[in-house]
């Protein structure tokens, strides 16, 4: 029998390994940024074009590599991080497997320039699909610059699975946030399609968080600190009133490495018990320092999942630390070095009492006195003549007095509450009546029996089709605000609003030009109340950020997000007119059976089914 087992060629093995290491452009960004951090860089630049499909470039001022190291870095399992298997439990660096650069070079065009500080000349290497095209000495700055172009150029099937540029860009931004938050002492710059999105100088942790997520984040943060023999915890949690419907701002870092841990997440959420509204999620930025021997970070290819030796103890400590922070956040003083000191009370006046102004009264003032000598500065007080007051009741056209006819006055009749039972005049007398059950369902009669409608799902369907119609026709109405609403958003949230600006304008939103973080709303769709504008835009951003991975159009996503935010909720009271209008609007829709989220809207109980209940 012929031998069947053989060794794979290196380029095939690298492409297979790339399937684990590189799922999308964000994976390349993660690996290159972590390599720059491990190289001891103090300044790192990330340059991206077309969502990472055309170009991903990372430039750092780290230690650089010699000519031999530069060539060896693209070999499989070549690493400077570990020497033996025991080193896996003493890791203080990001990457250690030695697969990243080899995998990236197997499915892209890679261009690397690197130079150590002690050398005068650096090395320039070009690799295409694991093949070294050129390697030569070249003058370049200290550090390393790696450019990755045309990702998945030799695997068209993988490239076709990539999402739109905007979706891939959001994933890259998430990876950038994770690395930048883990290393606030390092300066970062982020460029996309030629425009600078982030310029982060080295700063304290709180400052780094506000620089990434906007200045309004500063007022949301509560400090958390706890140190035990098992773990040292520090960081920030968000106040309960700022909890969001999305899970966006939730970050765990263990030994300066971003991780995902549903178990630890449950510990944080349980500490908020009784403080959160239903279906909202708190934000947190928590940094855990543990003994490297007590964790295993080699259980997942992306190293975002770790295994702790004593999870139960860690759970209890983390939950207690978060509870302690929540319990004292409103008592602990906080210094804000960015607050305008001109608006503060000067220290010289801090303990002084307010001076009561004096009031002077002129007892000789007579408003009916025609003399103006007493008030020369005000031009005098002149009493107007009351002659001709009868002319106020004379018709301007005819000059005759109006004959007020009270026979034409109609008084509004009081609303007559509907009877609980149909009248005895006929079988049809009771049709068209509705009532609300438990502030959740609308019950109405039909010819065959009874109809029970879920009011929230029904209103979602009505609003969804209205919003879709407005987005398609682009002739919606806008209700102008007397006082425009000013809202603060993070740069990433502002980027989402910019992408959706055309659709939002078609719905009736009117925005005014403003700076990078502030959005001024001048007009709203008639169906969006002014007090709900913040929650509505937050819902839109979270729906778009969670992403549906491009499977749905922006219009469909926007219509669903708005219908979810603006609709009548379970627990809202509806009067008779609103109930009947909702029933009529529902059955005027194209789809009446299912809500926009594929949930049944109503059920019917026929007369026979009701009769069977009494047998």
For 508-555, the three-class secondary structure string (H helix, E strand, C coil) is CCEEECCCCCEEEEEEECCCCCHHHHHHHHHHHHHHHHHCHHHCCCHH
The band of 332, judged by pLDDT with boundaries at 50, 70 and 90, is very low
User: Residues 111-132: what's their mean pLDDT?
Assistant: 91
User: 543-573 in b/e burial notation, b at 16+ Cβ within 10 A?
Assistant: bbbebeeeeeebbbbbbbbbbbbbbbeeeee
User: Residues 574-599: what's their mean pLDDT?
Assistant: 90
The band of 300, judged by pLDDT with boundaries at 50, 70 and 90, is low
* β-pairing verdict for 284-289 and 250-254: parallel
Determine the Cα–Cα distance for residues 287 and 181; give it in Å rounded to an integer.
10
Q: What does the block give as tokens for 247? A: 């899970």
In the predicted structure, residue 405 carries a pLDDT above the cut 50? no
E-assigned strand segments in 372-440? 434-437
* β-pairing verdict for 55-60 and 143-149: antiparallel
- Bridge-partner residues for 485, per DSSP? 521
Highest mean pLDDT pick, 76-90, 334-348, 522-536, 580-594? 580-594
Highest mean pLDDT pick, 28-32, 159-163, 336-340, 429-433? 28-32
Q: What does the block give as tokens for 117? A: 């500080």
User: Residues 147-170: what's their mean pLDDT?
Assistant: 86
Between residues 465 and 519, the one the model is more confident about: 465
User: Residues 81-104: what's their mean pLDDT?
Assistant: 61
> What pLDDT is recorded for position 130?
82
> What pLDDT is recorded for position 406?
47
User: 461-496 in b/e burial notation, b at 16+ Cβ within 10 A?
Assistant: bbbbbbbbebbeeeebeeeeeeeeeebbbbbbbbbb
- Helices (H) and strands (E) in the chain — how many of each? 16, 22
Cβ burial, residue 342 (10 Å; 0-12/13-18/19+): exposed
> What pLDDT is recorded for position 566?
86
| 306 and 295 Cβ atoms separated by less than 8 Å | yes
φ, ψ at 238 (rounded to 5°) = -95, 150
Highest mean pLDDT pick, 65-79, 89-103, 470-484, 562-576? 562-576
The band of 279, judged by pLDDT with boundaries at 50, 70 and 90, is confident
Domains of the chain: 10-200 (3.30.565.10), 205-328 (3.30.230.10), 434-604 (3.30.1370.100)
> What pLDDT is recorded for position 477?
78
In the predicted structure, residue 143 carries a pLDDT above the cut 90? yes
Determine the Cα–Cα distance for residues 434 and 441; give it in Å rounded to an integer.
10
Through-space distance between the first and last CA atoms of the chain, rounded to whole angstroms:
78
E-assigned strand segments in 380-456? 434-437, 441-446, 449-454
In the predicted structure, residue 417 carries a pLDDT above the cut 50? no
> What pLDDT is recorded for position 530?
82
Determine the Cα–Cα distance for residues 414 and 407; give it in Å rounded to an integer.
20
CB neighbourhood size of 75 (10 A): 14
* β-pairing verdict for 518-524 and 441-446: unpaired
In the predicted structure, residue 550 carries a pLDDT above the cut 60? no
φ, ψ at 133 (rounded to 5°) = -80, -40
The percentage of residues in the chain with a pLDDT greater than 90, rounded to a whole number, is 28
Name the one residue in this structure whose structure tokens are 């005068």. Answer: 120
User: Residues 65-74: what's their mean pLDDT?
Assistant: 87
Q: What does the block give as tokens for 47? A: 């340059």
Between residues 331 and 561, the one the model is more confident about: 561
φ, ψ at 49 (rounded to 5°) = -130, 135
φ, ψ at 148 (rounded to 5°) = -115, 115
User: Residues 126-144: what's their mean pLDDT?
Assistant: 90
3-state secondary structure of 603: strand
- Angstrom CA distances, 515 to 335, 520, 524, stand at 26, 10, 20
Which positions ≥6 away from 12 have C-beta within 8 Å? none
């Amino acid at each position: 029998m012929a031998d069947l087992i053989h060794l794979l060629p290196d380029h095939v093995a690298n492409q297979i390994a790339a399937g684990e290491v590189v799922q999308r452009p964000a994976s390349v960004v993660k690996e290159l940024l972590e390599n720059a951090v491990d190289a001891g860089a103090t300044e790192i630049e990330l340059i991206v074009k077309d969502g990472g499909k055309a170009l991903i470039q990372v430039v750092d001022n780290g230690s650089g590599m010699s000519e031999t190291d530069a060539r060896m870095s693209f070999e499989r399992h070549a690493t400077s991080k570990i020497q033996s298997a025991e080193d896996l439990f003493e890791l203080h660096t990001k990457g250690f497997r030695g697969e990243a650069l080899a995998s990236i070079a197997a499915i892209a065009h890679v261009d690397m320039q690197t130079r150590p500080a002690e050398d005068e000349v650096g090395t320039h290497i070009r690799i295409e699909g694991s093949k070294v095209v050129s390697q030569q000495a070249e003058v370049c700055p200290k550090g390393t610059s790696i450019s990755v172009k045309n990702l998945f150029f030799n695997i068209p099937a993988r490239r076709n699975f990539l999402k739109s540029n905007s979706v891939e860009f959001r994933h890259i931004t998430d990876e950038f946030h994770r690395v930048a938050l883990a290393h606030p002492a390092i300066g970062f710059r982020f460029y996309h399609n030629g425009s600078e999105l982030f310029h982060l100088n080295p700063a304290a942790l709180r400052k780094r968080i506000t620089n990434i997520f906007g200045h309004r984040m500063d007022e949301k943060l509560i400090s958390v600190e706890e140190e035990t023999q098992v773990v040292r915890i520090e960081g920030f949690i968000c106040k309960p009133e700022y909890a969001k419907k999305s899970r966006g701002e939730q970050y765990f870092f263990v030994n300066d490495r971003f991780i995902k841990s549903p178990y630890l997440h449950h510990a944080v959420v349980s500490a908020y018990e009784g403080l959160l509204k239903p279906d909202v999620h708190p934000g947190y930025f928590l940094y855990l320092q543990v003994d490297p021997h007590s964790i295993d970070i080699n259980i997942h290819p992306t190293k975002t999942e770790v295994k702790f030796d004593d999870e139960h103890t860690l759970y209890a400590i983390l939950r207690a630390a978060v509870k302690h922070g929540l319990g004292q956040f409103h008592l602990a003083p906080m210094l804000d070095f960015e607050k305008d000191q001109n608006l503060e009370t000067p220290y010289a006046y801090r303990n002084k009492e307010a001076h009561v102004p004096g009031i002077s009264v002129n007892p000789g003032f007579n408003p009916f006195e025609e003399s103006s000598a007493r008030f020369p500065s005000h031009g005098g007080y002149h009493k107007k003549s009351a002659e001709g007051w009868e002319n106020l009741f004379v018709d301007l056209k005819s000059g005759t007095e109006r004959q007020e006819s009270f026979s034409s006055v109609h008084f509004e009749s009081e609303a007559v509450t509907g009877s609980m039972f149909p009248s005895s005049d006929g079988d049809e007398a009771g049709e068209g009546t509705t009532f609300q059950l438990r502030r959740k369902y609308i019950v109405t009669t039909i010819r065959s029996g009874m109809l029970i409608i879920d009011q929230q799902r029904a209103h979602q369907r009505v609003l969804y089709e209205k919003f879709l119609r407005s987005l398609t026709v682009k002739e919606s109405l806008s209700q102008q605000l007397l006082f425009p609403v000013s809202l603060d958003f993070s740069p990433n949230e502002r980027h989402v609003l910019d992408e959706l600006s055309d659709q939002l304008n078609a719905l009736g939103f009117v925005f005014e030009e403003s700076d990078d973080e502030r959005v001024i709303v001048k007009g709203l769709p008639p169906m969006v109340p002014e007090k709900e504008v913040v929650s509505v835009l937050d819902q839109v951003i979270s729906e778009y950020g969670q992403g549906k991975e491009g499977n749905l159009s922006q219009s469909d996503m926007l219509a669903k997000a708005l219908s979810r935010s603006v609709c009548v909720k379970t627990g809202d009271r509806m009067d008779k007119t609103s109930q009947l209008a909702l029933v009529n609007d529902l059955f005027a829709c194209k789809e009446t059976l299912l809500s926009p989220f594929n949930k049944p809207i109503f059920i019917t109980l026929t007369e026979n089914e009701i009769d069977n209940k009494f047998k």
